[in-house]
């Protein structure tokens, strides 16, 4: 018997409903499980939507390090000085002109950077302690300049002045060099031909007043001068003289190492000229350990029997606890030490303050060879004075 169609439809409907209910239940379970999973791992997802996160600000990149100057082998910085005069070999000179012994000369020059980059001066020095260079600044921009103060302390040695000044800059292995240039001489210029020393046992000496002022020559090594084309008995005083000298036939012991000229010029009352030529040895050869840097002393006018203080310079290193003894070749002259300074310490270099005195009644031109004795070692100097009553 056939089934009633209405019953079949009813069964189909109920089956579909159960199937749909099963799918809905499964979907609901999956949805709930997903929600639970999301709440466990990502709690923010369960809250209200947040504003989108802003990107973090980017840090400013650090500035690149300054380039380290690479030393340029055998190259000097591109500097120049002003004022200047050209010297030999392309060198530049600071001309300080005519300088008298004992003067302190100060000059300023502009040091200019002729290169395309900034220069930094690391130090300055010179070839002699008598020359000091001091800078106003250390950094020189391209095309810029700084001031360099140069000081020259003239000693008593006459002659051409040529002292090297060196400027060292960062990044250069060689310094910029220039020269302090001039002539050191007395207010009465004294020379023997092209040099400022007597280079033979016989010759002439030239004398010229730098101020063109006439003057008289009083004595040469305590004796009357020997003139060329001049007679003091009938000729008026001049600003220029030529003198003869002749030391031929003298033994090495008696041969003078200095010619001392006395004049009535107010700034050149006593002057000296070194005697030097092959075969004539120095009175006191320089020693390896110590010596008297001072070779001669001019005291000019001294009263007979009165004491006169003066100072000498010592070089090298004296033995520890050394006692200096002073011996005079002239029995009418005594020299004693009253003080010794030792700025470098350990007996190295220094100065000694001494006292000169003649016997009562001694007058005129006085000369003595002073020997400094330390144990068996000796050095010394010569001293000259015009002793008045």
> Number of structural domains, the chain?
3
Domain co-membership, 88 together with 120? yes
Domain-embedded: residue 53: no
Tell which of 134, 165, 184 closes a domain.
184
Domain co-membership, 258 together with 319? no
Tell which of 165, 184, 203 closes a domain.
184
Query: What pLDDT does residue 215 have?
Result: 98
Contact present, 327 and 370 (Cβ < 8 Å)? yes
Query: What pLDDT does residue 73 have?
Result: 55
How is residue 144 written in tokens? 């810029």
For the chain, give the mean pLDDT.
83
C-alpha 45, offset from chain centre: 80
How is residue 353 written in tokens? 């303050």
**For residue 195, pLDDT beyond 80:** no
Query: What pLDDT does residue 270 have?
Result: 97
Which residues, 6 or more positions from 155, have their beta carbon under 8 angstroms from its beta carbon?
Answer: 101, 102, 130
Q: Residue 111: which domain range?
A: 79-184
Domain-embedded: residue 105: yes
Domain co-membership, 232 together with 330? no
**What tens digit of pLDDT does each residue of 202-220 get?**
999 999 999 999 999 999 9
Q: What confidence tier does 345 reach under pLDDT thresholds 50, 70, 90?
A: low
Domain co-membership, 291 together with 195? no
Work out whether strand 176-184 and strand 92-99 pair parallel, antiparallel, or are unpaired: parallel
The percentage of residues in the chain with a pLDDT greater than 90, rounded to a whole number, is 61
- The least confident of 71-75, 135-139, 224-228, 229-233 is 71-75
**For residue 15, pLDDT beyond 80:** no
Q: Tally DSSP H helices, then E strands, for the chain.
A: 1, 26
Domain co-membership, 207 together with 307? no
Domain co-membership, 275 together with 303? no
- CA 260, CA 169: separation in Å to the nearest integer? 47
Computed from CA positions of residues 249, 251, 252, 258, in that sequence, does the dihedral angle turn out positive or negative? negative
- CA 19, CA 11: separation in Å to the nearest integer? 12
Question: Domain of 92: which CATH number?
Answer: 2.60.40.10
- Of 263, 385, 261, the closest CA to residue 330 belongs to 385
Domain-embedded: residue 96: yes
Domain co-membership, 180 together with 243? no
Domain co-membership, 270 together with 289? no
CB atoms within 10 A of CB 360: 9
- The least confident of 221-225, 245-249, 258-262 is 245-249
Domain-embedded: residue 89: yes
DSSP letter (8 states) at residue 45: G
Contact present, 359 and 214 (Cβ < 8 Å)? no
* Angle at CA of residue 325, ends 319 and 330, nearest 5°: 145
Domain co-membership, 265 together with 307? no
Domain co-membership, 208 together with 273? yes
Query: What pLDDT does residue 48 have?
Result: 44
More confident residue, 27 or 351: 351
Domain co-membership, 89 together with 180? yes
Q: What confidence tier does 2 reach under pLDDT thresholds 50, 70, 90?
A: very low
Torsion of CA 116, 118, 122, 128, to 10 degrees: 50
Q: What confidence tier does 124 reach under pLDDT thresholds 50, 70, 90?
A: very high
Tell which of 117, 151, 184 closes a domain.
184
pTM of the complete model: 0.73
Domain-embedded: residue 269: yes
Query: What pLDDT does residue 114 have?
Result: 97
**What tens digit of pLDDT does each residue of 266-277 get?**
999 999 999 988
Domain-embedded: residue 141: yes
C-alpha 334, offset from chain centre: 39
Mean pLDDT of 356-363: 97
Domain-embedded: residue 243: yes
Domain co-membership, 273 together with 290? no
- CA 92, CA 85: separation in Å to the nearest integer? 6
Partners of residue 93 on adjacent β-strands: 85, 179
């Amino acid at each position: 018997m056939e089934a009633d169609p209405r019953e079949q439809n009813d069964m189909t409907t109920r089956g579909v409903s159960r199937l749909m209910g099963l799918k809905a239940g499964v979907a609901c379970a999956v949805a709930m499980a997903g929600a639970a999973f999301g709440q466990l791992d990502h709690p923010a997802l369960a809250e209200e939507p947040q504003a989108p996160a802003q990107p973090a600000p980017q840090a400013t990149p650090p500035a690149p390090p300054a380039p380290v100057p690479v030393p340029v082998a055998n190259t000097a910085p591109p500097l120049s000085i002003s004022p200047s005069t050209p010297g030999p070999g392309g060198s530049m000179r600071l001309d300080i002109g005519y300088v008298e012994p004992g003067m302190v000369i100060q000059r300023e020059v502009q040091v200019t950077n002729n290169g395309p980059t900034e220069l930094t001066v690391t130090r300055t020095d010179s070839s002699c302690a008598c020359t000091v260079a001091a800078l106003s600044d250390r950094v020189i921009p391209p095309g810029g300049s700084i001031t360099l103060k140069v000081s020259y302390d003239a000693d008593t040695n006459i002659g051409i002045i040529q002292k090297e000044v060196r400027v060292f800059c960062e990044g250069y292995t060689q310094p910029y060099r220039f020269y302090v240039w001039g002539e050191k001489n007395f207010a009465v210029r004294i020379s023997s031909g092209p040099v400022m020393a007597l280079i033979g046992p016989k010759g002439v000496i030239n004398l010229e007043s730098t101020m063109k002022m006439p003057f008289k020559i009083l004595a040469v090594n305590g004796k009357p001068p020997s003139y060329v084309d001049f007679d003091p008995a009938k000729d008026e005083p001049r600003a220029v003289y030529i003198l003869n000298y002749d030391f031929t036939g003298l033994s090495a012991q008696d041969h003078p190492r200095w010619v001392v000229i006395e004049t009535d010029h107010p700034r050149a009352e006593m002057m000296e000229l070194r005697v030097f030529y092959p075969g004539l040895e120095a009175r006191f050869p320089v020693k390896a350990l110590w010596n008297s840097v001072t070779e001669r002393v001019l005291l000019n006018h001294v009263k007979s029997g009165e004491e006169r203080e003066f100072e000498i310079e010592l070089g090298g290193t004296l033995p520890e606890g050394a006692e200096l003894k002073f011996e005079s070749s002239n029995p009418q002259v005594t020299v004693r030490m009253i003080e010794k300074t030792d700025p470098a310490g350990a007996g190295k270099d220094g100065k000694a303050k001494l006292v000169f005195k003649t016997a009562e009644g001694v007058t005129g031109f006085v000369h003595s060879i002073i020997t400094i004795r330390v144990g068996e070692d000796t050095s010394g100097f010569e001293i000259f004075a015009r002793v008045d009553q």
